[in-house]
Amino acid sequence: MKIYVDADACPVKDIIISEATNADIPVTLVTSFSHFSNAEQPSGVKTIYVDSGADAADYRIMRLVETGDVIVTQDYGLASLGLAKGCIVLHHKGFSYTNENIDDLLQTRYLSAMARKSGKRTKGPKPMTSEDRDKFRELFKKIISH
């Protein structure tokens, strides 16, 4: 098992790195060059930089993952591709993407995009809470301990 993080806007990177390092599971952060950092990462954590194109990180992650790997993303499209490849896919708010919920999530995203295209305003995601972080940590620990 390896862990791949769609890292540009991931608010739980610290949790992922901490828990994965404790479990001795390698982590790959995939992020755009616009988020370049010289910060040192712990052993077992590497960063791959990609162009700033819309889906560059998604494409790189999909080239790297194998069945059974873990992907952390808020992108429903990447989640769908990861599920199709046999990966465990987690959202940073502490839920798993599954074959049972991905179609509804994609449909909701599509309907919201169509509403925005026609000039309607839609609500954005709710702010991240400490409860969301705790929920993610518990789910992540459960997933990597199996």
pLDDT in tens, 61-95: 999 999 999 999 999 999 999 999 999 999 999 99
Average pLDDT, the chain: 92
Backbone φ and ψ for 90, nearest 5 degrees, come out as: -120, 145
Query: pTM higher than 0.85, yes or no?
Result: yes
**Residue 74's closest CA among 144, 10, 138, 139?**
10
